[in-house]
Each structure stands twice: as C-alpha cells, then as structure tokens.
Amino acid sequence: MARQPARKDLRIVIAQEAARAIAEEGVRDYALAKRKAAARLGVRDLHGNLPSNVEIEAALEERQRLFGGASHGGDLARLRRAAVAAMRLFQHFEPRLVGPVLTGTATAHDLVQLHLFTDSPEQVSIMLLGLGIPHEELERRLKRSAGGHVVAPTLRFVAGEVAVEAIVFEYDGLREAPVSLVDGKPMRRANLREVEALLAAG
C-alpha cells in the first residue's frame, strides 16, 4: 500500500501541479489552480494541504527556470514590448506596469496589466475611441493597503496580438498601490523608464 505523502510534501506537489496549470493552460486564478491541482492528484482533504499563493508563485518561477528556457524569455520579452507600447500610448495617465509581466512570471497566456491615473476616468475611453481602438469596459474590485476595497473602472483591448487591461485610479491612487493577491503586500509597480530598462536587460 502506497504511503500517503507528508502534508508538507503534498503542499509542494499541489503547488507544482498548480504551476503547471498556470503555465500550460493559462489558469491565472490561483484559487482555481489549487483546486484543479488537488482534484487531479486525488486530494480530497483540502484542509491544511493547499499551498499558499506565495508557494504557487515560487513553484511557477522554478518551473519557468527549469523548463521555460528561450520560450519563456521570448514570451516575456514580447509581453514587455507590448507593455512599453501601451504605456507610451497612455503616457498622459502616468501608467504603471503591474502583475506577472512585471514580476517575470508571465506565461504566453497572460495579458499586460496597467494602472492608469486620472481624475476623469472617462478620458481613457474617449482616447481609445478617438484612436479607433475597440475596447471592453468593466470594473475591478481591489483590496486597499489601508483597508477596505476600491472599485476601479477597467478597460480591456488588444494591442497587436497582446491583450491589455488598464485599471483606472484617481491621481491619489499613485500613492497607495492595491494589495497583491499573491503575497498580500502592496503591488509592485513600474513606470515606463523602469520597464524599458527591464526590456533592455533581457
């Protein structure tokens, strides 16, 4: 009879399988990736066995380091080039890059996530309309570092072959980044010059 893996080992295995789902299938919801991984591994007792988002992020980084190679580097460079182009387009709105494209864990399935800042959110949509860029308007609910939540207007469109999501905050939002779903800390943000430096560094 096979021995049941120790709880710590089981968390590692689930994190690795969740990372595979993210990298290969484009699953970006970490909670969904955990559940899919547990189901595939036949784990029914989820209490205490599910890895944290930080553990999944670490497993994803390790997977990309071991198996991603030139393919991952090429995908990341392509997404960062798209981010630079979009940030130049939105330069009037103090754009900041966030998410996997910034941290380096992006897969070919990811979109470019930007934070924009203006006290007139409708100006972003007006600009896209003026440029003839079709886009979808929705809202994102984000946790604030200081507590509570903010509901932010969000626009999605395609630049070339890359999907871009632009979340629009008031100017005051520059001082307080929303909380990351990965580690519960304020999201890391990068301005255009910083992203250009990342791209140049390869």
Q: Is the pLDDT of residue 2 over 50?
A: no
Q: CB neighbours of 156 closer than 8 A, spacing ≥ 6?
A: 111, 135, 136, 138, 163, 164, 165, 166
Burial of 167 (C-beta count, 10 Å sphere; 0-12/13-18/19+): buried
For the question of whether the overall pTM of this predicted structure is more than 0.85, the answer is no
Domain 71-201, CATH = 3.30.460.10
| CA-wise closest residue to 33 among 4, 54, 53 | 53
Measured between its terminal Cα atoms, the distance across the chain in Å is 49
Confidence of residue 24 (pLDDT cuts 50, 70, 90): confident
The CA distance from 87 to 76, in Å, is 16
Confidence of residue 29 (pLDDT cuts 50, 70, 90): confident
Confidence of residue 6 (pLDDT cuts 50, 70, 90): low
pLDDT tens per residue across span 9-21: 888 899 889 888 8
Tell me the average pLDDT across 31-52: 83
Predicted local confidence at residue 1, as pLDDT: 37
Q: Which residue has the higher pLDDT, 116 or 5?
A: 116
pLDDT tens per residue across span 191-201: 999 999 999 98
Determine what percent of the chain falls in helix, strand and coil, rounding each to the nearest 5. Answer: 50, 20, 30
Tell me the average pLDDT across 28-47: 83
Q: Where are the beta strands (DSSP E) in 93-181?
A: 96-98, 112-117, 136-143, 149-159, 162-169
Predicted local confidence at residue 7, as pLDDT: 56
Confidence of residue 145 (pLDDT cuts 50, 70, 90): confident
Q: Is the pLDDT of residue 47 over 80?
A: no
Q: Which residue has the higher pLDDT, 194 or 110?
A: 194
| CA-wise closest residue to 29 among 53, 48, 55, 46 | 53
Residue spans of the domains in the chain: they are 7-51, 71-201
Predicted local confidence at residue 64, as pLDDT: 82
Distances (CA, A) of 64 to 107, 155, 178: 9, 29, 26
Cα 20 from chain centroid (whole Å): 16
